[in-house]
Chain A
């Protein structure tokens, strides 16, 4: 982890990967984001916390180019994201971002290896190569032997690890995880977070995890909290556990 970020608005640093300035977003009369500034640095794992309805998912959607904020700007390595067209943002998400959702992002018709290979196939990688790389990722994440299984034949934790492989297979710059442990029990959630943080770091990607769960957030090097549409740096609750462990099987991947 490179960040030793002091509290307060972070100064401009050369290693800022994703940056948001003055984000404002409303749904009808509800203000979800009321002026949010945040920087995500190279290799950093950032937990975005907050109670339900605080606007944390909206923040993730704005950062990832899913939503266009009403005001403010998101930049990826200095290039504006929110000014891109719908199609360009879709392309950006496919090429430079990875996503892990709570559940249901794997296509039920496809075996695990093809679910993981799908982002590569969409980028035009030939089938054989895409499947080979997908199988490698599944192996690194401890899912060797499950390549042919379909999502319905996997446990919740296994399915989330497949989702992590899918998010990382195309070499994204930022991985966005929206409540990645929301549908899992404590032990399985911890295992998924260990794999997610470890593999993301090993792949050289930055990570944004949206969660309302302290234990999930504790796996990230830095935590911020959204309250009433505004952001504040949160103190580390469990400093001892935030040292991101290296993923056992995936160390040195890629």
Chain B
């Protein structure tokens, strides 16, 4: 075991082609995950601290509500952030497949291969975590621009603390190692399971019933909410929200599959290939955009809140403040979700390019234009992205339209902020997918001279 581990750095250098892109991408993904997670947790800490020791200018009665809402944001972002960390770990493993196969042939045991991978992925995670802590510190002045409770947090209030930073340096490498080892297990146990792709079974439409049921419950709940006490109403609202979110995750991969099937029916080669890739692994496509679906939904719901207060006549300064903060928080959560989605899309596409490098190179030799794969790549991300974000935001608005329909005319600022966020976020994701563009060309170019 020790000898194998000692060999690792040497093999590593031999295994890398001329490109260090995958390692860099994995480290970057860990860094982004760490920085954003720490920022979100730092925000939560800020609200908790303000609740525990309310500043003189703050109405203390509202503080607990903010803590609840901050928890909602944390819950919303935890799953996509974890998914991103997992994707980063998988990317590192995909790159090392060939080298690990060689090691297996040389007589290294599966267990040693797993340990080797875990150690390497943990190292990437550690580098990413260090960069992430630095990133978190650098982002503090940015978050300190955002006004909450009438006054922006200071950087000190949002800093996650040295204990938090050290915890991140321990937890991120650990999660990375576990995730890397887990994704490797499939390769070790069944090498054919990855290479031999077969048509996956379709998903059942029953999943849709779940989301319909949750939406009905939400609408009914919203209607009876006014008759309940404030605390009960908030609890009910949050519970129903969680229910809707849960069912969205259930129905997401199914929706991606349906979109893929519709796309595959007609159209040119780029559309066909993108559709087949979505059908091939709808869950993977959902992992990239899933967090966005939930965040779009919540942001859409919150964006109509300002109008709600205007119509209901409750325009005391305190409620005004809370509602404005709800919009800020919703859009901020959506923006972070977009950053996560952009990085996840970049990672997924880089992994895809590496997985398919031989097929791509041979297609290019046979005269297939490289632009085809660019077009496929863009569609593969953009179609589910738009489908998910627009559908979720649309559903969010439609659910609340009976309640706040007219308010949109009175106070359209929240909605405009939402739309702006959707547009900018989509462009950011699109830009992130361009990261695999040079990688595609590099893998194509290296195989031309490698005669095999």
Instruction: Indicate if A122 sits at the interface (CB-CB under 8 A).
Output: yes
Select from chain B the residue with minimum beta-carbon distance to A95.
B367
Instruction: Name the residue on A nearest B365 (C-beta).
Output: A66
Given A99-B365, A127-B266, CB of A114 within 8 Å of CB of B198: no
Task: Judge whether B277 and A109 touch: CB under 8 Å.
Answer: yes
Contacts of A64 in B (CB 8 A): 365
B363–A105 touching, CB < 8 Å:
yes
Dominant SS at the B interface? helix
Check A57 for interface membership: any CB of B closer than 8 A.
Answer: yes
- B227 sits at the interface (CB 8 A): no
Which residue of chain B is the closest to A114 with respect to CB atoms?
Answer: B272
Q: Chain A interface: which size bin?
A: 35 or more
Stretch at the interface among A69-77, A148-156, A229-237: A148-156
Q: Chain B nearest CB: distance from A196 CB in Å?
A: 15
Contact with A along B271-289 (1 / 0, CB 8 A): 0110011011000000000
Contact across chains for B199 and A105 when beta carbons are under 8 A apart:
no
Contact B269 A118 (CB under 8 A): yes
**For residue B452, which residues in chain A have a CB less than 8 angstroms away from its CB?**
102
Interface 1/0 per residue, A183-215 and B, CB below 8 Å: 000000000000000000000000000000000
Which of B267, B359, B367, B449 has the largest number of chain A CB atoms within 10 A?
Answer: B367
Chain A proximity of B69: nearest CB distance (Å): 42
With an 8 Å Cβ cutoff, the count of chain B residues facing the other chain is 31
Chain B: CB-nearest residue to A105 = B362
CB-CB contacts of B345-359 with A at 8 A, as 1s and 0s? 000000000001011
**Assembly CA distance A93 to B365 (angstroms):** 8
**B268 and A121: CB pair below 8 A?**
yes
Which of B195, B197, B266, B268 lies in contact with A109, CB distance below 8 A?
A: B197
- Nearest CB to that of B196 among chain A residues? A152
Interface on A for B, CB 8 Å cutoff? 27, 57-58, 61, 64, 66-67, 90-95, 97-99, 101-102, 104-111, 114, 118-119, 121-122, 127, 148, 150-153, 167, 178
Task: Pick the 7 closest A-B CB pairs, nearest first.
Answer: A93-B367, A94-B367, A57-B451, A152-B196, A109-B276, A152-B197, A105-B362
Question: Chain B residues in contact with chain A, CB under 8 A?
Answer: 195-199, 266-269, 272-273, 276-277, 279-280, 356, 358-359, 362-369, 372, 448-449, 451-452
A-B residue pairs in contact (CB < 8 Å), sample of 9: A27-B449, A61-B448, A66-B448, A94-B369, A97-B367, A109-B276, A114-B272, A122-B269, A122-B372
